[in-house]
Amino acid sequence: MKTAIQHNNQVFEVDLSKPLDISIPLTNDEQNPIAWYQNVPQIGPVVMGEWIGKVSEGKSSTNFNNIFFNPHAHGTHTECLGHITKEFYSINQSLKQFFFTAEVISVEPIKKEEDLVITRGHIEKALLNKETEAIIIRTLPNPENKKHLKYSNTNPPYLLEEAAIYIREIGIKHLLIDLPSVDKEHDEGKLLAHKAFWNVKNTKKLNEDARLTSTITEMIYVDHSISDGNYILNLQIASFENDASPSKPVLYKII
């Protein structure tokens, strides 16, 4: 199903019947990835007295589940700068467009003292289209078990401040990465990459040139079958009035 998409005065031809989903499903078992010291998400039927909201239990005509999860800890999520500011900002109000030009790049973090880091040099070398609206960073190696990792207290790789500054300076609006955070797990609350990407200079009183409509998406998974290169990104969120929402980024190859 080839379709022409007009975006920013350009026309791109894509096949909408061939989506490339780079999100991780949310489940209520040990297959779910977990970060930030949380437990497994909970998905279960509502119970009211003898009534159970589950058709297989024989007392309900519908399946009627409650879900308890944390968007930052339990899978693919998209966040706005409200994640780090004193004043409330909502991802639902910040993200108003959902289709973007995007480039997938693959980088292998390098050792820096006890850490593995992504540098400005990584981004400069790998990113070919400096005018793309979104960057999608796949870290190497890229085993499939990345979709099920337990990240808490493992010091995962992260983005150096210099890399985040560069991504901001070349005008990229949306940053997607296959890690639980763009920042170091234990960084004493510095959040250098978050602040650099959103250009937040003071979290208590937001500067006028902070990037209100830019987003960071974390804990994606880019399968090895998806080549580095240019795509159209459909960045889908649930309409949460919260700093972050579970999300479903989907790529379409440009024909």
* Vertex 80 angle, CA 74 and 81, to 5°: 120
Stretches where the chain sits below pLDDT 50 are none
Residue 45 lies in a domain: no
Q: Is 138 helix (H, G, I), strand (E, B) or coil?
A: strand
Residue 60 lies in a domain: no
Check which CATH number belongs to the domain holding 75 and give it.
3.50.30.50
Residue 162 lies in a domain: yes
Q: How many domains does the chain have?
A: 1
Residue 145 lies in a domain: yes
Report which residue type is found at 220: I
Residue 53 lies in a domain: no
List Cβ neighbours of 121 (8 Å cut-off, separation of 6 or more).
none
pLDDT for 1: 76
Helix (H) or strand (E) holding 161: helix 161-169
Residue 16: give the domain boundaries.
2-26+71-253
Residue 38 lies in a domain: no
Phi, psi angles (nearest 5°) of residue 34? -140, 140
pLDDT for 58: 82
Residue 218 lies in a domain: yes
pLDDT for 35: 98
Each residue of 121-178: pLDDT tens digit? Answer: 999 999 999 999 999 999 999 999 999 999 999 999 999 999 999 999 999 999 999 9
Placement of tokens 């004043």 in the chain: 87
DSSP secondary structure code for residue 150 in this structure: B
Strands (E), the chain: 2-7, 10-15, 20-21, 42-45, 47-48, 51-52, 65-68, 77-79, 99-107, 110-112, 115-118, 134-139, 158-159, 174-177, 215-218, 229-237, 244-253
pTM, two decimals, is 0.97
Q: What radius of gyration, in Å, describes the C-alpha atoms of the chain? A: 19
177 forms beta bridges with: 137
227, 76 contact by CB (below 8 A):
no
Count CB neighbours of 119 within 10 A.
Answer: 17
* Vertex 135 angle, CA 85 and 253, to 5°: 135
Token representation of residue 12: 């791109």
* Vertex 110 angle, CA 106 and 114, to 5°: 140
Determine the Cα–Cα distance for residues 9 and 3; give it in Å rounded to an integer. Answer: 16
Token representation of residue 166: 């560069």
